[in-house]
Each structure stands twice: as C-alpha cells, then as structure tokens.
A and B are shown apart, each in its own frame.
Chain A
Amino acid sequence: MSCQELSDKMPGVARGKVSWTQEEARHLASCADCRAEWEVVTAGAMVADGAKVDADAVAERVLLRLRTEPVVKRFPARRLFVGLVAAAATVLVVSRVVTTAPLPRGPAAPLSVDVPGLTTLGEDGLAEVLESMAPQWTDTPTIDTPSLDDLDPRELEQVQHLWES
C-alpha cells in the first residue's frame, strides 16, 4: 500500500462512491502525510455545497434564448489576427526590399543607338541626309503673327479693348 494509491482513491471515498479497505484504513491511521491530505480532500469535496440553481428555470431561459436570439456568424478572431499579421509582414518585407535594394553606382553609360544605314555613312553622307530633312521643317506652315503696324485703326481699337477687358 503506497501513499500514491491512497491519494488516488481519496476523492472517490470522500464523495461516498467507494470505501477504504482495512489495509487502507490502517495506512491512513498511521501516515500523518496521508491524513493531512485526507482532511484537504474531504474539505474540498464540500466546497460550495450550498451553491444551487433551479435547473428547470435555467433550461427554460436557455430554450427561450435559443428560440429568439439569432445565430450570429462572426468572423473568427484568429483568422482576422492571422490576416493582419500577414499584411504587416508583407509591408515589412516590401519596405525592407525597397530600402535595401542596391542603387546604381557610377555615371550612367552613354546611350548609343545604332541606326542601320547611318553607321556606314561618312561625314559628307550624314550632312546630305540632314540637308534632305531640313526642307520638311522649313516647309511646315507656321502661324503668321501680324505686327501692330499692320493693323488698321479699327483693328487696333479691338485689340486695345481686348487687353483692357
């Protein structure tokens, strides 16, 4: 007979479910530690003995609530938390990548575009090409802006009136 075996049986005996055997009773009488535990267990079995509820009244109220209170589907707090953490982690990672990305070092390489046909031309050839393009600019019609000297007195009055307004 060990103290542990007695300890395991104490709640059942305290609640009147089982009884001590003679051997157990002798052990209990001779072991001060087991007796102290037995006092605790018997006292613990009585804790809140007077707490009672009217089970029928509770059942009635519970059923009434079940009939009348709508079922509320709530967004699980855990999912919300996981979502927020994931979003925060994404922002953190992106900001780290942006701030730690290596910047281009040294001067930018000169931009060179090879235009087929032009690379084989000499200086004269290039000048000829430029000259052939020039008339396109000169032929482009432009807005003819008359000087004030070209206006007659009536037109001058109209311009003056326009400025003043």
Chain B
Amino acid sequence: MPSLTGLDEPSDAALAAAWRAGSEQAATDLVRRHASRLARFLSGAGAGPSEVEDLVQEAFFKAFRGLDGWRQDSSFRSWIFSIGSNLLKDAYRRRKGRVVLSIEDHDMPVHRDPGDEMVAEETAERITVGLTDLPRLQREVFLLRVQQGLDYAEIAASLGTTVGAARVHYHHAVKRLKELVP
C-alpha cells in the first residue's frame, strides 16, 4: 500500500507492522496521519462537535486492538473510515436517528473572488444541511468521494458495499443536493 504522505514516509502497512512489533511511535504516526481526515468525515456525516474526538479515539483504539482483522487488500485509510462509520452508526442509533449539524468556518479550496466566495459559503451551508436529509449511505459515500477524495473501490471497502452500489449512492446524493443549489 503506497504511502499517503510521500516516498520517504513509511507506508501504513509498515507502520502497522511496526506497531505489532511493539513500536508505540508507529501507532502515534498512524493517528497523526489519519485523525484529522477521520474527524472531518465524522463531523460532516453527522457526529456532534462534542463526540467527534471520542469517536476518533475509539476508532483508533479498536483499530489497534483488532489490527489482525485488517485485511491489507484495502487501505488502512478505508479500514479506519469503516470503523469510524460503524461507530457513528451506533452513536446515531443511540441518538435515535438525530443527525447533528456542524456548520463551520470554511477554508476555500478553490480561489474565488469575494462575491463568489460568499455564494460558495452559502451553498456549503445548504449542502451541509442537505446532507442531514440524505440516507446514511448516500451521505457517507458523498463525503468519502468529495470531502476525502477516495475512489469508489476505497469507498466500497470503507462502507461494506460494492463499487457499483457506491456509484449509484453518489449519483443519487448529487442529484438530491443539486436541488439545493440556487
């Protein structure tokens, strides 16, 4: 599995092997590499601000405890998202289906003029609200694709579905979210 951060960095598989061999530094490096992305995903998918950090911590705890369960035919990133998604699903059940909105200040990934930026931020808020109305799988597929940049194979591995189904969920999510664009 190629490294996410460059050729000089050890791969996730190498870090996982080092953790198995007893290196706590390797575990710390894996957390540093993936914690922020996982937090963004969980927050966008409906985790409340107060529960995001706990969910991230629990996801890594479960990942390291059950590292033998990581079949390396999928990336560590897919696997940790898979654990996070399942934890969020449990939290969602405990909250009896209530999705928590988290509208934050945004950093614009694409340079625009101030007018465009304001429109884009309004759209982003609409999309954030619109995401809460989507079925869970549509919401998570959309976020993994657009927010995290995963390809469909990784999305399928993360959410326990097929590539074809992931494409269909993405298509439906975009179709519904388009209706919110002014």
Contact = CB atoms under 8 A, between A and B. Distances in A.
Contacts of B181: 36, 39-40, 43
Interface residues on A, range: 35 or more
Given A40-B174, A46-B124, A62 B146 contact: no
Interface in A8-55: 10-17, 36-37, 39-55
A108 to B, nearest CB: 62
Contact of B109 (A37, A40, A45, A51): A45
A47 B124 contact: yes
A26 B95 CA distance: 46
B127 interface: yes
Given A47-B128, A58-B56, A62-B57, A52 B36 contact: yes
A51 B32 contact: no
A6 to B, nearest CB: 12
B28 A63 contact: yes
A60 B27 CA distance: 10
B106 interface: yes
A133 interface: no
Interface residues of B, number: 49
A55 to B, nearest CB: 4
B102 to A, nearest CB: 6
A98 interface: no
Nearest to B33: A55
A61 B41 CA distance: 21
B126 interface: yes
A118 interface: no
A29 B128 CA distance: 25
A66 interface: yes
Interface string B28-64: 1001100110011111100001001100110011001
Given A15-B109, A46-B124, A61-B57, A51 B146 contact: no
B39 A40 contact: no
A53 B56 contact: yes
B174 A37 contact: yes
A37 B124 contact: no
A60 B60 CA distance: 11
A69 to B, nearest CB: 8
A56 interface: yes
A151 B64 CA distance: 97
Contacts of A11: 145-146, 149
Given A56-B28, A66-B65, A46 B107 contact: yes
Interface of A: 7, 10-17, 36-37, 39-56, 58-63, 65-66, 71
Closest 9 interchain pairs by CB?
A: A50-B104, A51-B43, A48-B44, A44-B146, A48-B43, A59-B31, A55-B35, A43-B124, A43-B127
9 contacts: A7-B174, A12-B149, A40-B174, A42-B109, A50-B105, A55-B35, A62-B61, A63-B24, A63-B28
